């Protein structure tokens, strides 16, 4: 599925997932009870910049916490009388102490991760206004009104969004609410936002984003891993898998930095940040999108942790040389790298549907989105229990779906063919989908053997099960349904 969320998550998901990661980390460390039991002033005062002592290195631990890092208040406008973002290697608007802390974090993260420093990276401070303009220019310039409408059509057919849902407005608002900093692998820029403090949350964010800079310098995310928007349009499964590898790696490194290098003051600031954080836009986002935003971080972290448990970061490095290719591999690390998706081929059905119809999407759902459509649909009344949805999706072996739109009649059609690892897996998905279908469309109009149909006022839905494959078709009327199914003689 061509999901704009892939690009949103690259730079905004850190704050969201950090809330989950830090809750686990702080609880496991006992830091929550330590911090909550003492007023801040009783742990440390407000240190001057010259009071800073570098955090203790691994292997050099003492029984005392390192002295806290100073909190740097970033200027709200560029310093040195600069009126714009510094160009190229100009870092003159970055306060000296902040730049020192950045370099210290970079050194620590490089040591932890075992990757060479990103020597071509450019550090920059952006004002909120510059950031907003950058987001609009880089991330939304090519996301047209037509793209927004087509994405909503696709999600609607899969029962995930209302057909008129404004995805553009959601994404823009999410950027505005969540973004704290980012690494741009096209320009090699590490961007930190002016007007915010460079405290614990910002330092942890910097550790995460600098990992991306090192990944890019070592493996070339765009050209070496073929991870860009064009590739994602063609194969969203591969794109989601690479995103999970990259973000899971950065999340694990960030957590290691938190454990080994953050000060007690960092920990308190991070905990306070997540305790006080409000995210009304994210909180009001449809459930499947919230889950999808977190996939590269939550499931990606689990995947990378599994590799790391087997062979440290050397095993993670090997994954960049033999990257995962599906969400199935991410969700089930034991299936990586052997279990690859079955390639499904389908003809173009434009000539079958007739005049005015065009194909607007051709991609794969994968195990992850198969789970989401069953467990996190638009209406909670349609949702299957988590265990049933997860079990039904787990036997996924491959799929391909086609989405068509007739702009003259404002009608849509869906053709989806899925392949399952075994006939038993196909049976399990088939039964789960029928349960889902009854919740979504009501009692079936006809049900015989391996074919179930729903004939609604403006929609005809058919699902057919044959051995280890399942065919799902939605058309606006029965005549078009008959025409489409004629193209699948094996499913008659």
pLDDT tens, 332-365? 999 999 999 999 999 999 999 999 999 999 999 9
Residue 366: Cβ-neighbour burial (10 angstroms; 0-12, 13-18, 19+): buried
Helix (H) or strand (E) holding 416: strand 411-420
Mean pLDDT of 167-184: 81
Question: Mean pLDDT, the chain, as a whole number?
Answer: 83
The pLDDT, as a whole number, for residue 73 is: 55
Strand order across the 189-193 sheet: 122-126, 189-193, 181-184
CA 430 – CA 434 distance, rounded (Å): 6
In this prediction, residues 74-82 reach a mean pLDDT of 40
Between residues 181 and 319, which one has the greater pLDDT? 319
* pLDDT of 43 higher than 80: no
Q: Residue 410's CB: how many other CB atoms inside 10 A? A: 10
Average pLDDT over residues 231-254: 94
Residue 12: is its pLDDT beyond 60?
A: no
pLDDT of 39 over the 70 cut = no
* pLDDT score, position 140: 78
Inter-residue contact 482 to 440 (CB < 8 Å)? no
The tens digit of pLDDT for each residue in 141-164 reads 788 889 999 999 999 999 999 999
**CATH class in words for 350-491:** alpha beta
Q: 70-84, 235-249, 299-313, 465-479: which has the minimum mean pLDDT?
A: 70-84
Residue 195 has a pLDDT of: 66
Is it the case that residue 96 has pLDDT exceeding 60? Answer: yes
Q: In this predicted structure, what is the pLDDT of residue 49?
A: 31
* Residue entry with tokens 């600098």: 210
In sequence order, the β-bridge partners of residue 460 are 455, 475
Question: How many Cβ atoms sit within 10 Å of the Cβ of residue 165?
Answer: 19
Domain parsing of the chain, residue ranges: 5-335, 350-491
pLDDT band at 173 (very low <50, low <70, confident <90, very high): confident
pLDDT at 436: 98
Is the pLDDT confidence value at 63 over 70?
Answer: no
Which is higher by pLDDT, 464 or 181? 464
pLDDT at 81 exceeding the cut of 70:
no
Mean pLDDT, residues 405-429 taken together: 98
């Amino acid at each position: 599925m061509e999901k704009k969320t892939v690009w949103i998550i690259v730079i905004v998901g850190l704050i969201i997932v950090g809330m989950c990661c830090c809750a686990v980390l702080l609880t496991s460390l006992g830091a929550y009870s330590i911090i909550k039991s003492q007023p801040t002033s009783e742990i440390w005062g407000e240190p001057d910049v010259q009071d800073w002592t570098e955090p203790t290195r691994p292997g050099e631990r003492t029984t005392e916490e390192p002295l806290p890092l100073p909190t740097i208040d970033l200027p709200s406008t560029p310093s040195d009388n600069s009126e714009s973002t510094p160009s190229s290697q100009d870092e003159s608007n970055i306060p000296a102490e902040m730049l020192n802390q950045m370099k210290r974090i970079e050194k620590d993260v490089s040591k932890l991760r075992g990757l060479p420093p990103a020597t071509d990276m450019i550090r920059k401070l952006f004002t909120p206004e510059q950031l907003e303009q950058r987001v609009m220019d880089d991330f939304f310039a090519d996301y047209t009104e037509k793209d927004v409408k087509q994405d909503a059509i696709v999600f609607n057919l899969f029962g995930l969004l209302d057909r008129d849902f404004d995805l553009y407005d959601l994404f823009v608002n999410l950027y505005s609410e969540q973004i704290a900093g980012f690494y741009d692998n096209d320009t090699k820029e590490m961007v930190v936002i002016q007007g915010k403090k460079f405290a614990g949350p910002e330092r942890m964010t910097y550790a995460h984003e600098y990992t991306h800079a090192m990944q890019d310098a070592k493996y070339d995310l765009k050209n070496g891993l073929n991870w860009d928007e064009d590739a994602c349009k063609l194969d969203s499964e591969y794109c989601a898998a690479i995103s999970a590898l990259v973000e899971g790696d950065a999340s694990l490194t960030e957590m290691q930095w938190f454990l080994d290098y953050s000060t007690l003051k960092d920990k308190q600031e991070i905990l306070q940040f997540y305790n006080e954080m409000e995210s009304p836009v994210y909180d009001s986002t449809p459930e499947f999108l919230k889950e999808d935003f977190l996939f590269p971080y939550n499931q990606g972290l689990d995947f990378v942790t599994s590799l790391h448990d087997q062979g440290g970061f050397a095993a993670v490095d090997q994954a960049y040389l033999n990257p995962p290719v599906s969400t199935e591999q991410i969700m089930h690390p034991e299936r990586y790298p052997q279990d690859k998706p079955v390639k499904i081929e389908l003809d173009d059905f434009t000539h079958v549907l007739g005049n005015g119809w065009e194909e607007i999407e051709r991609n794969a759902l994968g195990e992850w989105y198969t789970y989401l459509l069953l467990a996190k649909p638009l209406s909670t009344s349609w949702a299957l229990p988590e265990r049933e949805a997860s079990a039904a999706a787990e036997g996924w072996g491959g799929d391909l779906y086609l989405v068509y739109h007739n702009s003259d009649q404002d009608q849509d059609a869906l053709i989806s063919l899925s392949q399952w690892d075994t006939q038993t897996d196909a049976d399990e998905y088939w039964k789960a989908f029928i349960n889902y279908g009854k919740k979504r469309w009501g009692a079936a109009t006809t049900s015989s053997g391996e074919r179930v149909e729903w004939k609604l006022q403006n929609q005809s839905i058919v699902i057919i099960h044959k051995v280890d494959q399942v065919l799902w078709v939605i058309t606006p009327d029965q005549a078009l349904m008959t025409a489409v199914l004629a193209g699948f003689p094996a499913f008659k």
